[in-house]
Amino acid sequence: MLKTAKDFAKKPKKYFVELNKNISLQNITYNKKLLEKAYYFSLNRHNNQYRESGEPFASHPYAVANILIELKLDHQSIITALLHDTVEDGVATNEEIIENFGLEINQLVQGVTKLSKIQLPNSDVREASNFSKFILAICKDIRVLIIKLADRLHNMRTLKYVKNIARRQKIAKETLEVYAPLAGRVGFQVMKEELEELAFKEINNEAFQSIYKRTLFLRKQNKNFINETISNIKNIIDQNNEYEISGREKKIYSTWKKMLRKSISLEKVSDIYAFRIITNSINDCYKVLGIIHTTWTMIPDRFKDFISTPKPNGYQSIHTTVIGNNGTKMELQIKSKNMHQLAEYGVASHWIYKNSQDTKQIGEINKGTRWFQDVLDIIKTAGGPRELIEYSRMDMYSDNVFCFTPKGDVISLSKGETALDFAYAVHTNLGNSTIGAKINGNLTPLNTKVKNGDQIEIIRSKGTFPQQSWLNFCISGKARSQIRKFLRDHEEDEFEKLGKEILKKILLDVNKRATKKILTTLTKGFNYTSYRSFYVAIGRGEVLSESILNLLYQKNNKESLNKNNYKGLPIMGLKKGMAMHLAECCNPLLGESIVGILVEGKGIFVHLLNCSTLDRFSDFPELWYELMWHKNAGTFSQTSKINITLQNKVGSFHKVTSCIKKANANIVDLNVNKRSEDFFNIEVSLQVNSIKHLNDLIQFLKLEDCIYKVERK
């Protein structure tokens, strides 16, 4: 909250002068006239709007802009921060932004606006759809994410003013689960830590206060510990070098995670102090490390060298934990100035170093965006919403281990991943053809978990393919998505073969063959884009033999499907060339009220208007299509299911089948779900012509004395 936010609207010039001063202090090149125009544009458009804290609303974009200035971002991003809520709040249009500030800033504003509209609820389908849009928007311009993170940071700093407790909890949970990990992925460690602290304080205030009190106690007990340790470090390392040395207590949320990870009580958390030594070069880092380990006892399993093996986001440093003179554990981070800059500002360092000669450093910085490319690959290969959420979250929250190929290349994996995950991390084709692995020269099973420093050699064979059982031990999102993609494709091959055989038999029964003319007629008639997709649909049972015969016989009829302007299914309301499928969740019948839902890459799925599945799409009106059955649809065969409860006595089954026969319906399948001394529960799959046909059949069945209950499934 701004110190004098209440007078923000009354003294606009004062705050603009302060904004200019902040930009100048950070040596950011900017257009002062354009910045001033954006500042007053935001102020005027948000006039008479107030936040729950009582601040003028325009103070929020102003605060976000200042956060970006601290990050040394470019002036386009700072101007976008000032404007980012104008379009979303409806006080400005994209056309106005383009006219006044140009196309680039408008694209950034649009990107941030889209992210603001994307929420992450519990529904798997909606969450996956939103998450994929989220990542796609970020990947177009990483500045969109940085602006959004700054926006979320200021909202978290003022979260206490939100009166609705449930809303506060939701915002905090979303911050902890999505935005803080994303900040970490692009290297914003300082922002990540603050987001975690603020969110944790809201979600679990009791635990937060307990750890805070423990920190105060240790601070009082070791009153001068940090200053004395900094002085000791200065004394033991080279006095001629001006190294920057600082110390701090560990963050509260970091302490909480350690308690959960190691299952220890708060009293047993001893190493709450962390010290940072910033040197002039990589050589100095290792020189200081040698002096530290010579002076103090090092804890072996707490040493990590992220200089030789950087984290996936480009982070580099040496981490070691030692026992000081008085027996207190303390963590030391040793890094160069450039490494520290990257750790502080993450991918934003690109703008800081854009005039630097150190192109290698910039290359390392750009590694921070690799995770987004991995998630993009998963979006392309995931077979459904649950897969996408499972894989992306798995990779977002994981810690890293570093392994080596036989040639010495470093491969970053997550804790718990296996030799097979390693193979897929190297290359998809290598993973798909893996038959074995050698870890440090020894043959090991593919499900062996890898450790830091393992050298792994993958043994492959051209005749080997992914197995379903691999999913039982594979961990990484990339590996699991590629295995499932292969299995789906392989399954389609089998359905294609089956579909060819089924079609061949159908056509033989009416003295026809699968000529190019007939295949083209059928493929176009059922709205499939290729022969293969049509064969697969037949193999899966999505296209029935009766429908195929109806299409062939009605081809030259005046009342044919083509004349009535529909194909495959007699439904109106679709654009030409759209694939259409009846939804299996509700199996709509001719005569019922229906609606269409667009599923990207698959076409329109036809649902009953009262289908419960439609709740998932309530916030996405652009996916809905108004559909209706064609008036001249005539009759055609459809599958429906009914549940029947009947008396367990001689002749009951006969009466059921007799009723179905009298109603001129056909039994496709019949299953006995439950049998007791008095009753049977059976499920019958039927071929009927319409909802009227089904309702008439149900009435016939209800008239039989032996039938207790009949209902549509």
Q: How many CB atoms lie within 10 A of CB 483?
A: 24
- In Å, what is the CA distance from 318 to each residue of 134, 282, 402? 33, 10, 14
Percentage helix, strand, coil for the chain under 3-state DSSP, each rounded to 5: 50, 15, 30
The Cα 361–Cα 280 span in angstroms is 14
The Cα 253–Cα 505 span in angstroms is 66
Q: Answer left, alpha or beta for residue 438, where phi above 0 means left and psi between -120 and 50 means alpha.
A: beta
* Closest-CA residue to 299 (of 325, 319, 321): 321
Strand (E) or helix (H) holding 278: strand 273-279
Q: Indicate if 705 belongs to the active site.
A: no
The Cα 335–Cα 307 span in angstroms is 8
Q: Indicate if 704 belongs to the active site.
A: no
Cβ(680)–Cβ(672) under 8 Å?
yes
Supply the DSSP symbol for 450.
P
Secondary structure in 3-state letters for 676-711: CCCEEEEEEEEEECCHHHHHHHHHHHHCCCCEEEEE
- Which residue among the candidates 36, 70, 74, 88 is catalytic per the annotation? 88
- In Å, what is the CA distance from 301 to each residue of 10, 156, 306, 321? 58, 36, 14, 9
Q: What is the dihedral of CA 683, 689, 693, 695, to 10 degrees?
A: 50
The Cα 401–Cα 415 span in angstroms is 6
Cβ(60)–Cβ(152) under 8 Å?
no
- Which residue among the candidates 36, 70, 74, 89 is catalytic per the annotation? 89
- In Å, what is the CA distance from 707 to each residue of 388, 670, 671, 704? 46, 16, 16, 6
* Closest-CA residue to 134 (of 121, 112, 111, 115): 115
The Cα 226–Cα 239 span in angstroms is 19
* Closest-CA residue to 158 (of 231, 257, 254, 57): 57
Cβ(614)–Cβ(637) under 8 Å?
no
Secondary structure in 3-state letters for 636-662: CCEEEEEEEEEECCCCHHHHHHHHHHH
Long-range CB pairs of 663-669, under 8 A, 24+ apart, other chains included: 663/693, 663/696, 663/697, 663/700, 664/693, 665/693, 665/694, 665/697, 666/637, 668/639
Could you tell me which residues come within 8 angstroms of residue 99 by beta carbon, excluding any fewer than 6 positions away?
Answer: none
Cβ(534)–Cβ(526) under 8 Å?
yes
DSSP string over 574-634: --TT--EEE-TTT---TTS-EEEEEETTTEEEEEETT-GGGGGGTT-GGGEEE-EE-TT--
Handedness of CA 437, 439, 444, 447 (dihedral sign): negative
The Cα 383–Cα 484 span in angstroms is 7
Residues recognised as catalytic: 88-89
